[in-house]
Each structure stands twice: as C-alpha cells, then as structure tokens.
Structure 1
C-alpha cells in the first residue's frame, strides 16, 4: 500500500500547474462536456502510466539495487529542480481533429501525447523502479492524476485564481528533494 499512497501523493502534487492540468482546463472550456473529458483523462493516464511503470520495472531489473538507488535518488532530486520550472501548454496539441475523434478520443490522444516525457510520467517510472509493484504504482499515479485533473475540468479558472502555483510547485519540489535524499541516504521506511 505504501507504493500506492506515495505514488498518489507525488503525482497529485507534481500535476498541479502541469501542462496536462492546463490541457484539462482548455478541453473543459472548449467542449463543456466534463464526463467524456474525465473518462479520456483516465484512459490516457492508465495507458501512459502502465507503460511508464513497465519501463520502471525493466530499469530496476537491469540496473541492480545499488545503482538503482543512486539513479532513483538523483532522479527525484532532478524532479525537484524540474518542479520549479513552470509548464506551458502546446495549444496545437490539444484540439486537432475533434470532428474525427470526438471529445473522448481527442482527450485520450491529447493527454497521452502531452504526458509523454512529462514530470508525472518520469516520476511514475522512478516510483515503479523503486517499489517494483506495477499495479499499486500505476493505480496510485492514476489516482493522483485524477485528483489533480478532475477539479481542473470542473473548476478550471476559478481554482487557478485562488491557488499560488509557485507555492504548490515549491512544496512539490521539497517533497521530491526529500524523497531523493532519503533514497540516496537509504533512510526511512520509504526506501
């Protein structure tokens, strides 16, 4: 269960202010159909994070425990720095060929592509490598994505006006930094 809860928290915080959260707001504003957008986010996240988790499992098997500890620790520290860089959305990615795919299909494709190489996908790779429990990591990372994106679909601009994204990114960076330090020092129950 630890893999589930850590994955949920790390991804939910990492997703705040991320380009895919901005994409959720953009899709909601454009189509005003929250249910297919939310289902699309869920499907895209499950596919993307399952792939990321499988890569994480492969990395764990290929590297060995000592090298893996250093790779994961340094990855979490790199994620801490990356959290301090604000995301912007590539609007060309978001809403092409809606007539062909519909709102659900557009959301699935846009979210899957936007999440490729994204902070939360990289975090999912590292978490899967760390915990070795693909199902719990993917379930947790998917829940984290949904916790961050469902409110964005329904509340969008109203939430963004009231929450300081700089503060959220700073807290997220501190959490990633702590996870990295704990991993490198082999400290605590988490690692």
Structure 2
C-alpha cells in the first residue's frame, strides 16, 4: 500500500464520517443521537490519521520535514484525546445509565464544561494545529493542491479558540446551549467536508 492509496482511503473515511456526524447532529436536534455522533467522530479521527500520514509521507522536501513531524505529532495527540473521550462515551457512559451525577460531570462528553468535554476541545485544537503544518507539505503544483493547502492552513485558526475557551467561565456545566453548539459543529462540518473532498481528489490524481 503506497502513500497515494493511504491518502485516498483516509480522505474518504474522514469525509464520510464528517457527513455522518453532521447528519447525526441535525437529527440530534429532535432526538438523542449522542452515541452516533461520538461513534462517527472516532472514524473522523481514524481517517484524519491516515490522511495526515499520507500528506507527510508524500513530502519530498527535506526542508519541510520539521513541518511533517509537527503535523504527525499533533495528529497523534488529537487521535489519542478523541478516542479517550468518545470511546468512554460509547462504552462506560452509554452502558452505565446509573452512574452518579458527579462522575458524569467529569467523564460525560454530553455535559458542557466537563473534563472530557474540555479534552475534546483540546483534541480538535491539536487537529487544527496539525492541518496548519500539513498545509505546508501539500504540493501546490498537483491538482487541487493549492486550494487544499490554503484550506488546511486556514483550518489552523481553530487552535487558539479550542485551546483557550475551556480556560474561561464560558461554560457552566450541565447541558448548556445545545442548539448553539450544534450550529457551531455544523459550521465546522461545512468547512471540513470540502477539505476531505479536496484531499480525496488530490491523492486520487497524484502519481504513485
């Protein structure tokens, strides 16, 4: 399996998972779809990991090797945090409905401002940082390369907000403003889904 194949698979998995996540968020306005949202998010992480590894592996410029290393490390931190949060939500929290409220206020992602909610934000902050450095690795002479590079770099602006917001009393715990959170997540999906599509086209047209 070469870099091109890994990139195509990673982009496809990530894009399909982002779409599934967006659908689950919309349906979640009417019914509880937290489990499905978390399940889809784990596959976003898996696809993203493959995509970033392919981008880094395809880079032939030794002067940009540091960017590749930073991007890979940040992607690894993102995947670790995301699986820590969402795997706990899909297993321990989902299968133990009688957990004490104090415990849920720490490990339940559905509780705005909980420890795992903040871990989730931190994870997506590192995802943004990973895409920022990955943007410097994309070959702009390849088809879709210039647009993909720009969108990956712009996605990096999510890092400061994801990193700093949990440190301020903007969230007071509990369920929070669910509708506002849903809208913000859908905005992110609307931005990142095209990134995945561009990544798919970039690697599909890339020579092995």
Same-fold call, TM > 0.5?
A: no
**TM-score normalized with structure 1 length:** 0.39
Q: Which has the higher helix share?
A: 1
- Pick 1 or 2: higher relative contact order, CA cutoff 8 A, min separation 6: 1
Larger gyration radius, structure 1 or structure 2: 2
